Structure formats: structure tokens, C-alpha cells
């Protein structure tokens, strides 16, 4: 592990994305949740299923014009949320790709235990089996606008329905694999929304090695997400969109953020998927770290044995860093 220290102070600024740091309700009225506020519809989301019996884990499923099916979200509340009126910082936590991955992924892994006693709300939404946290160039199965769902709809909905800090210093974004890429992408494109960004085995370079990650995003999304459509366009890419989403081309957008990166150094040599994934992750994160270091942007990085899998110890370390960086409850 190593930490790069900045050589100069950057000035907080918005980069290629919305600069708003508060959530606006209908008619431009500031939306916020009171202590007894009932969770409801809004921001293009209509609740079609819910389970709020658990004192910490709340489940909701939405109908939305952004997605052609009803995506779900788990909202994990901190201990003591219901016994007081405090506001809390929020972590948006994104799952990886694959047909078995969804909004329940981190609950299966143990997120409740990892966050026990931590003053933090954790929001874990669906992102599609191969949605790549993007609005695709083409879909043959109806809308799959995951970026719109997460940023324009879910984020303000959370701020309106839970006691959050609807501001830059009140939000973090993190994820594993495809979700780690989504976290890096959103943190850069929507600079004013997230003060901390973490990528656990998430790719950070779309163009290296002849664009291997971009090709993989297109192939995987075509196969399991978009019915032959693609995230970035095929056979020719939407080059402007690739550049806008590519972390190594957005280095300055990470200034004044907490940046946390994890990559494995020894993927399983007999598992081609593990080898290809983590080898590319490691190379891309090293390229990204080089850019951050050259720009004097602080970042914490970990290269650890193993391949493409979640490392609970580093997630716990990351959670401690997130709580330390964000505004206190």
C-alpha cells in the first residue's frame, strides 16, 4: 500500500457534470427528510414493492421510465437511525457484473456486519447484469439508462426520503469490478456529488491495450443486457462518450476527493476470466495512479495477492476512511 500526497492545493470546482450539491424537489423546492418522514415516490420513481420491517435494511423496487424493468435498491440505515433526528452521510455502493449480481450482492457478503456501529447510510441499487453504470448507445430491449436512474432519480430520491447531507461532503461512491468502474466514472462526471471514491478491482482505463475494457463492456452488454445493443457503440465507438467515462482521461476531476484503489497481483492462472479481468484491472489502475501522482492528487492504493474477488478486510478499511472523510453525523 502507498499513499500519494498532493504537491499543491486544488480549488474545488465542478468538472463536466452537474455542480448542484443539494437535491431539488418538484418546482425547485429543496427536498429533505424529516425524522418521521414516510418514504414515497418522486424524481421519476414510483415504488411498486417495499419491505421496511427490518430496522436497518430497507428494500424498495421502482417503476421508472429509465429502465425497462423494475430495479431494486437496498438502503442500509445506521444503528440508532430511528431513535434520533441526526442526519448522516451516504455511501452509494455498486455491485459488479454478471447474471448473479444485483442490489442484494453486498448484503449476501456481510455489509450489515461491516457497517455495524458506523454512522453511515449505505445505498445499494441494481445496476444491471452488464449495465456498466451507463446510458447505452443502443438497446434492443427497451430503456436501460442506468446512469439516469442512479444520478438523476435515485440520488435525489434518497436525499428527499432519508436524513442525509445532500451535499458534496455528504456523499461517497464505491464499488467492485464493474461497480468500481461505475464509482470512478460517476465521481468524475458528477464532481459536485461525491467527496470520496473507491474502486475495488474496478477498471480505470478504457483505451489501453487497444480498448480491451471498452470492447468487453460492449460484448458483455450486448450478450446479457441490451439484446445485441452496446454501451459504447459497435463497430465504431462513440469516442466522446468513451473519453467522458474514462478515468485516466479525467484525472483532474479527482482533485480534493478521497481516492481509494484496490487491485490483485496474482489472478488464478487456470481461470481465464479471473486472469483477464484482474490483469487488466491492475494495469489500468497503475496507469490511473501514475496520472494522479503526476498531478499531485492524493490517493491510497493497495496491490494485494489474489485475483478478481471482493476482499472484506479492505472494504472495512475503506468504510473507515469514508466515514473519516465525510461530514459527521
264 in Cβ contact with 225 (< 8 Å): no
CA 288 centroid distance within chain: 17
209 in Cβ contact with 281 (< 8 Å): no
| Annotated catalytic residue 308 | yes
In DSSP terms, 51 is beta-bridged to 59
SS3 217: helix
53 in Cβ contact with 82 (< 8 Å): no
Helix (H) or strand (E) holding 94: strand 90-94
Q: How far apart are CA 187 and CA 41, in angstroms?
A: 26
| Annotated catalytic residue 177 | yes
| Annotated catalytic residue 34 | no
Q: Which long-range contacts (CB under 8 A, 24 or more apart) does 227-231 make?
A: 227/139, 227/140, 227/141, 228/140, 229/136, 229/137, 229/138, 229/139, 229/140, 229/141, 230/136, 230/137, 230/138, 231/132, 231/134, 231/136, 231/137
Selecting among 126, 245, 274, 318, the annotated active-site residue is: 274
Selecting among 32, 139, 174, 177, the annotated active-site residue is: 177
Instruction: Report which of 265, 264, 261, 279 is spatially closest to residue 317, judged by C-alpha positions.
Output: 261
Q: Give alpha helix (H) positions in the chain.
A: 105-109, 111-114, 146-147, 155-161, 178-189, 208-224, 239-245, 272-294, 312-325
Which residues are catalytically annotated?
177, 274, 308
Amino acid at each position: 500500500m502507498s499513499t500519494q500526497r498532493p504537491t499543491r492545493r486544488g480549488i474545488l470546482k465542478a468538472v463536466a457534470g452537474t455542480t448542484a450539491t443539494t437535491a431539488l424537489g418538484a418546482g425547485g423546492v429543496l427536498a429533505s427528510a424529516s425524522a418521521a418522514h414516510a418514504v414515497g415516490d418522486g424524481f421519476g420513481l414510483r415504488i411498486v414493492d417495499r419491505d421496511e420491517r427490518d430496522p436497518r435494511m430497507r428494500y424498495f423496487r421502482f417503476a421508472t421510465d429509465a429502465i425497462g424493468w423494475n430495479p431494486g435498491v437496498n438502503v442500509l440505515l445506521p444503528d440508532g437511525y430511528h431513535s434520533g433526528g441526526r442526519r448522516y452521510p451516504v455511501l452509494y455502493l455498486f455491485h459488479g457484473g454478471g447474471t448473479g449480481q444485483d442490489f442484494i450482492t453486498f448484503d449476501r457478503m456481510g455489509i450489515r456486519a461491516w457497517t455495524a456501529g458506523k454512522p453511515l447510510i449505505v445505498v445499494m441499487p441494481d445496476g444491471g447484469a452488464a449495465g456498466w453504470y451507463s446510458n447505452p448507445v443502443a438497446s434492443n430491449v427497451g430503456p436501460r439508462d442506468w446512469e439516469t436512474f442512479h444520478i438523476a432519480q435515485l440520488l435525489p430520491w434518497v436525499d428527499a426520503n432519508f436524513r442525509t447531507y445532500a451535499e458534496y461532503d455528504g456523499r461517497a461512491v464505491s464499488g467492485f469490478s464493474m461497480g468500481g468502474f461505475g464509482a470512478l466514472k460517476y465521481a468524475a462526471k458528477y464532481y459536485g456529488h461525491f467527496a470520496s471514491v473507491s474502486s475495488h478491482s474496478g477498471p480505470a482505463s478504457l483505451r489501453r491495450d487497444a480498448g480491451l475494457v471498452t470492447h468487453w463492456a460492449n460484448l458483455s452488454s450486448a450478450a446479457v443486457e441490451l439484446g445485441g445493443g452496446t454501451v459504447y457503440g459497435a463497430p465504431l465507438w462513440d469516442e466522446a462518450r468513451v473519453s467522458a467515462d474514462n478515468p485516466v482521461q479525467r484525472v483532474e476531476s479527482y482533485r480534493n476527493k478521497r481516492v481509494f484503489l484496490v487491485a490483485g497481483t496474482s489472478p488464478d492462472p487456470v481461470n481465464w476470466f479471473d486472469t483477464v479481468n484482474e490483469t487488466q484491472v491492475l494495469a489500468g489502475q497503475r496507469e490511473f495512479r501514475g496520472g494522479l501522482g503526476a498531478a499531485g492528487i492524493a490517493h491510497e492504493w493497495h496491490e494485494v495477492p489474489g485475483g478478481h474477488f471482493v476482499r472484506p478486510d479492505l472494504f472495512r478499511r475503506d468504510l473507515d476512511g469514508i466515514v473519516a472523510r465525510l461530514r459527521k453525523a
